[in-house]
């Protein structure tokens, strides 16, 4: 009791020091500054992960090599949000040959889980909520197809971090404290993340020998170690012992999929984003609708531009709900949704002076195979912000954008003992209605809104960007791109700017309170229901934690930026 009381007192004192620093304009109140470099840049949600990517670039690797190294390393230093038991998508642009591709390593439903939960709500936590992980297969596939180094080489920074340990930051320490009861209930999590049975303080050195063992096995044996070998056997044994559904067949049958990007063009900038079953096509649709309005007519921020963007987001999300799902199971009308002719039709329905009530917004109707039934109810974890993003550009201006996740913070709340593998709870992202394209089926990918994105300017590499944030991902990314393109902001300025969130199913408007009161009052006059409950924090993680790298079109330098809403860093050389 004395120890717990002392730790509580210490935490309170630390909070008071932070508040004092903010009040007095101390160093802790400073916002991130953009980073400039010539040869390579990595932006990630943890500085040690960004440094891992730079280590690979300095060793002669390309952006894909560095991206894969960063993606494995982030699972070590930000284990609450990503890791071997998770999933994601990587968007790649190779400057030589102007080639763009996407590797989809979204998790899939175990076959027996699909039978058990058909037409029912899927669990939000615990072993039954675990989907078949895709991260190892996806990163290995990206490296094999587009990288220049071996899997063993790019895994070395992650292995070193897991073996030697690292001092945890305030964000991870707080996350462990927030998830204390969940961690305490799982022997593997408790042994790894608790300090003598209690949440550790910032600065505590986290060593993860089990994860180091798994990473070494993958380095030595390749992805087969995870899907066919000893790691697979440990996952299945633990799942069977605890009421989970993953089998050896589920792991052996998993495949990462190479897909075409969702493509668009906003005011001359070419957009490449992650396609269904995730949110890149929706991002393109939002931008195509918004392009029909003079967003930048007045200085940022102003109510009219916020209104036009809000009204562009809502119909795009009606289409997302109705049509976006695993394209290997159901036809998804990507070309129709991202058509500029269709965007013009949607723009004509927008009243420039009034917010459209949620009940008046309908999904588009597309011919032939595209018509699907309403999507039913989203899973409980739909609003989880616990994803992570990495951006990389190398000396040859190859670009990579990676967004990956284990869904909720600490995923399903379970770790496979002796492996360091924290398993996801992605099953909650299937829809309950079996008439929906997002209904559960064996080996099917559930939809989410992640949207790692690359941008070309005048046909040349310009920007790698992405963010976590669940339902806020696409609205946040659309604001970031509009900030840069319409309001001529720099990358760091665009990331720092205040954000808002609207959605298609409710008449709500949430925002960071740095918007001027006159802008909010103008929005109220348009019908937006802004009240005392609408404001979030000044820089609120609810609105995502973007990481980005861009090419300065004037100097050719690389510019990296990190989001003040989340731990992160841009590192260049």
> Which is more confidently placed, 379 or 122?
122
Residue with tokens 């995923």: 411
> Per-residue pLDDT for 49 more than 50?
yes
Q: 399-454: per-residue pLDDT in tens?
A: 999 999 999 999 999 999 999 999 999 999 998 888 899 999 999 999 999 999 99
Q: 259-314: per-residue pLDDT in tens?
A: 999 999 999 999 999 999 999 999 999 999 999 999 999 999 999 999 999 999 99
Can you tell me the mean pLDDT for 525-553?
95
Q: How far is Cα 154 from Cα 556, in angstroms, rounded to an integer?
A: 27
Dihedral sign for Cα atoms in the order 439, 546, 424, 377: negative
Torsion region of 237: left, alpha or beta (phi above 0 gives left; psi -120 to 50 gives alpha): alpha
Q: Residues 6 or more apart from 201 whose CB is under 8 A from it?
A: 7, 10, 11, 173, 195
Q: Residues 6 or more apart from 335 whose CB is under 8 A from it?
A: none
Cβ distance 410 to 496 under 8 Å? Answer: no
Q: What is the DSSP string of 255-288?
A: --EEEPPEEEEETTEEEEE--TTSSHHHHHHHHH
Q: 241-261: per-residue pLDDT in tens?
A: 999 999 999 999 999 999 999
> Per-residue pLDDT for 11 more than 70?
no
* Closest C-alpha among 211, 249, 76, 184 to residue 414: 184
> Per-residue pLDDT for 218 more than 90?
yes
Residue with tokens 């495949």: 255
Can you tell me the mean pLDDT for 105-117?
96
DSSP helix/strand/coil, 27: helix
3-state helix, strand, coil in the chain (%, to 5): 40, 15, 40
Max distance between CA atoms of the chain, in angstroms, equals 69
- What is the average pLDDT value for the chain, to the nearest integer? 91
Give the chain's end-to-end CA distance (angstroms, integer): 48
Instruction: Identify the pLDDT of residue 368.
Output: 60
Give burial (CB, 10 Å; 0-12/13-18/19+) of 546.
buried
Measured in degrees and rounded to the nearest 5, phi and psi for residue 377 equal -105, 130
Task: Find the DSSP H helices in 165-302.
Answer: 170-178, 180-185, 187-193, 209-221, 224-227, 230-241, 248-253, 280-290
**Dihedral angle computed from the Cα positions of residues 362, 364, 365 and 367, in that order, rounded to the nearest 10 degrees:** -170
* Closest C-alpha among 420, 557, 479, 556 to residue 82: 420
Beta bridge partners of 92: 101, 400
453 flagged as catalytic: no
Can you tell me the mean pLDDT for 188-206?
97
Instruction: Identify the pLDDT of residue 386.
Output: 62
CA-atom Rg of the chain in angstroms: 22
* Closest C-alpha among 300, 291, 311 to residue 353: 311
Give the DSSP H or E segment for 500.
strand 500-501
Q: Residues 6 or more apart from 264 whose CB is under 8 A from it?
A: 270, 271, 273, 283, 284, 285, 287, 288, 338
Instruction: Identify the pLDDT of residue 249.
Output: 98
Instruction: Identify the pLDDT of residue 5.
Output: 42
Pairing of strands 87-94, 399-405: antiparallel
Residue with tokens 């490296």: 143
Pairing of strands 41-44, 453-457: unpaired
Residue 543's alpha-carbon distances to 266, 295, 467, 495, 518, in angstroms, are 23, 21, 9, 11, 22
Half-sphere CA count of 180, side-chain side, radius 13 A? 11
Q: How far is Cα 147 from Cα 543, in angstroms, rounded to an integer?
A: 32
Q: 335-392: per-residue pLDDT in tens?
A: 999 999 999 999 999 999 999 999 999 999 987 654 444 333 333 233 344 689 999 9
209-221 and 151-164 are packed helices; what angle lies between their axes, rounded to 10 degrees?
A: 170
Share of the chain above pLDDT 90, in %: 85
Q: How far is Cα 135 from Cα 156, in angstroms, rounded to an integer?
A: 17
Measured in degrees and rounded to the nearest 5, phi and psi for residue 366 equal -115, 150
> Per-residue pLDDT for 64 more than 90?
yes
Instruction: Identify the pLDDT of residue 506.
Output: 85
**Dihedral angle computed from the Cα positions of residues 61, 62, 63 and 64, in that order, rounded to the nearest 10 degrees:** -80
Q: How far is Cα 45 from Cα 468, in angstroms, rounded to an integer?
A: 10
Residue with tokens 């909010």: 520
Q: Report domain extents, the chain.
A: 261-379+453-572
Q: Whole-model pTM?
A: 0.91
Give burial (CB, 10 Å; 0-12/13-18/19+) of 505.
middle
List the catalytic residue out of 70, 387, 405, 419: 387
* Closest C-alpha among 274, 291, 294, 270 to residue 282: 274
Can you tell me the mean pLDDT for 125-152?
98
> Per-residue pLDDT for 6 more than 50?
no
Question: Residue 538 gets which letter from DSSP?
Answer: T
**In 394-435, beta strands by DSSP E:** 399-405, 415-416, 421-422
Please provide the CATH number assigned to the domain covering 261-379+453-572: 3.60.20.40
> Which is more confidently placed, 385 or 235?
235
> Per-residue pLDDT for 555 more than 50?
yes
Share of the chain above pLDDT 70, in %: 92
């Amino acid at each position: 009791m004395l120890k717990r009381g002392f730790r509580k007192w210490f935490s309170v004192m630390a909070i008071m020091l932070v508040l004092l620093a903010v009040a007095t304009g101390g160093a802790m109140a400073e916002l991130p500054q953009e980073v400039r470099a010539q040869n390579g840049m990595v932006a990630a949600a943890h500085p040690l992960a960004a440094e891992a990517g730079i280590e690979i670039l300095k060793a002669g690797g390309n952006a894909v090599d560095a991206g894969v190294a960063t993606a494995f390393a982030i699972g070590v230093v930000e284990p609450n949000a990503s890791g071997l038991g998770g999933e994601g998508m990587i968007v790649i642009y190779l400057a030589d040959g102007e080639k763009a591709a996407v590797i989809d390593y979204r998790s899939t439903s175990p076959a027996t889980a699909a039978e058990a939960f058909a037409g029912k709500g899927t669990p939000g936590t615990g072993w039954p909520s675990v989907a078949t992980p895709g991260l190892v297969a996806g990163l290995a596939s990206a490296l094999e197809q587009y990288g220049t180094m071996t899997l063993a080489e790019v895994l070395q920074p992650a292995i070193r971090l897991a073996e030697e340990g690292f001092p945890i930051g305030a964000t991870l320490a707080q996350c462990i404290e927030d998830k204390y009861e969940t961690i305490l209930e799982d022997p593997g999590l408790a042994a790894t993340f608790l300090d003598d049975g209690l949440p550790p303080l910032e600065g505590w050195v986290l060593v993860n020998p089990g994860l180091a063992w798994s990473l070494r096995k993958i380095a030595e044996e390749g992805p087969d170690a995870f899907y066919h070998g000893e790691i697979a056997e440990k996952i299945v044994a633990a799942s069977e012992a605890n009421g989970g559904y993953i089998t050896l067949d589920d792991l052996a049958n998993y495949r990462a999929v190479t897909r075409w990007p969702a493509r668009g063009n906003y005011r001359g900038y070419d957009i490449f984003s992650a396609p269904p079953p995730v949110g890149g096509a929706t991002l393109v649709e939002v931008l195509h609708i918004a392009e029909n309005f003079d967003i930048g007519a007045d200085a940022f921020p102003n109510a009219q531009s916020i209104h036009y963007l809000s009204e562009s987001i809502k119909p795009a999300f009606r289409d997302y709900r109705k049509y976006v799902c695993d394209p290997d199971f159901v036809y998804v009308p990507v070309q129709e949704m991202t058509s500029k002719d269709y965007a013009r039709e949607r723009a004509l329905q927008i009243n420039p002076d009034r917010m459209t009530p949620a009940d008046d917004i309908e999904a588009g109707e597309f011919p032939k195979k595209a018509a699907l039934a309403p999507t039913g109810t989203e899973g409980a974890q739909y609003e989880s912000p616990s994803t992570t993003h990495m951006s990389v550009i190398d000396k040859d201006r190859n670009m990579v954008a990676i967004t990956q996740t284990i869904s909720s913070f600490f995923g399903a709340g379970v770790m496979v003992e002796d492996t360091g593998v924290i398993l996801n709870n992605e099953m909650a992202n299937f829809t309950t209605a079996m008439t929906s394209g997002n209904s559960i089926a064996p080996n099917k990918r559930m939809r989410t809104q992640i949207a790692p994105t690359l941008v070309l300017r005048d046909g040349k590499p310009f920007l790698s960007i992405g963010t976590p944030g669940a339902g806020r991902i696409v609205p946040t990314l659309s604001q970031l791109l509009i900030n840069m393109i319409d309001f001529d902001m720099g990358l760091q300025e665009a990331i720092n700017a205040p954000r808002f969130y609207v959605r298609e199913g409710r008449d709500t408007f949430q925002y960071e309170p740095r918007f001027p009161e006159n802008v909010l009052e103008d929005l109220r006059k348009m019908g937006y229901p802004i009240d005392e409950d609408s404001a979030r924090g000044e820089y609120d993680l609810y609105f995502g934690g973007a990481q980005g790298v861009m090419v300065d079109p004037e100097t050719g330098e690389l510019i990296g930026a990190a989001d003040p809403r989340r731990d992160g860093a841009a590192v260049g050389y």
